Amino acid sequence: MPQCPVCDDQYDAGNSLRSHARDAHTGCSYCGETFEQTDALYRHWLAVHPEKLDSRAEQEATDAVGELSFEERRRHGGLGNALSGGVNRRTVLGGLAALGVGGFGAAAATGAFDGAEPQPLSEHPAGKAIDSQPILGDGLDETAATIVAFEDPSCTSCARFEQQVLPSLREKHIATGNVSFVYRGIPIIYPWGQEATRVLEAVYAASPEAFEPVKSAYYDQQRRFDKQTVWSESSALINELDIGLNGKDIVNTAQTDEAVERAVQTDLSASRSAGVGSTPTFFLFRNGEYQSKIVGPQRLSVFESALNL
């Protein structure tokens, strides 16, 4: 608790103590020095303790004795205080804030941030075995931009991307031949995603055209699935979609085919090499060169800006 350096009285707060020392002792609450006149105390405050004064005290002292000249600050507070006079907390805080913002801007402007290393899609970890993945669009060699998406059919964020972002992306950029969209399934979210990812691989192997409707149906009906029912419900789902596939056969392939397991492991391996930590994660390529990555189902404008579409 602040204590008066003259009479040892205690106060709850610094400004109460400062008022007490001024009124009772014409003294300085910071160092205990006493004065004949209040104006001398004010000059002492401004010359010796400018950094300790709050705005009210500073105003009070300045109103009484005016701004101190360099000579006055030197006379009352010594050369050191005279040289640093006027540097109060506000100045320091403002300076630090300006330094932070300015430093950040300067670093950005001078290229202190190097940005993405240019790396061809074929050599990028996200591009591993990319030719065997489901692709929306005209093909990797035909479009200016490529998006490689790592998703999990059980992921609710991926479902929001599928329902709220992908339709616009398809309409504006995939259908018009600007973008190719590659799907890579990695089961890392809810447990039933492991079986669903295998089913999707089996569907793609049996009929590439059937892949999109099954994937969309998983996202649309996520609440339908859990670890216990995922096989039977997946079989029923495929039959309901009327895509020319037999649900039971697809599920059987998903359960037993080693090629399906290898395909899932290839995607998981690619995701680990590429540093995917969550789904959905999108790797962006422009003219075959890596640009950056987007995490989460960000809005279309973010994809458009990042790929300069």
Q: Catalog residues that contact another protein under the rule CB under 8 A.
A: 12-16, 54-56, 89-90, 93, 107-108, 111, 113-116, 152, 155-158, 160-161, 163-165, 188-191, 277-279, 291-299, 301-302, 305-306, 308
Q: Minimum CB separation from another protein for residue 247, in Å?
A: 25
Q: Minimum CB separation from another protein for residue 139, in Å?
A: 25
Phi-psi label, residue 40: left if phi above 0, alpha if psi -120 to 50, beta otherwise: alpha
Nearer to another protein, 54 or 138 (CB): 54
Residue from 309, 279, 285, 283 nearest 297 by CA: 279
Nearer to another protein, 139 or 167 (CB): 167
Q: CB–CB of 34/20 below 8 Å? A: no
Q: Minimum CB separation from another protein for residue 252, in Å?
A: 27
Nearer to another protein, 162 or 247 (CB): 162
Residue from 272, 281, 40, 12 nearest 152 by CA: 281
Q: CB–CB of 196/187 below 8 Å? A: yes
Phi-psi label, residue 27: left if phi above 0, alpha if psi -120 to 50, beta otherwise: beta
Amino acid occupying residue 304: E
Q: Minimum CB separation from another protein for residue 116, in Å?
A: 4
Structure-token match 């290839």, residue found? 266
- Which residues 6+ apart lie within 8 Å of 203 measured at CB? 210, 211, 214, 238, 245, 250
Q: Minimum CB separation from another protein for residue 54, in Å?
A: 5
CA of residue 83 relative to chain centroid, distance:
43
Q: CB–CB of 231/195 below 8 Å? A: yes
Nearer to another protein, 30 or 35 (CB): 30
Q: Minimum CB separation from another protein for residue 17, in Å?
A: 10
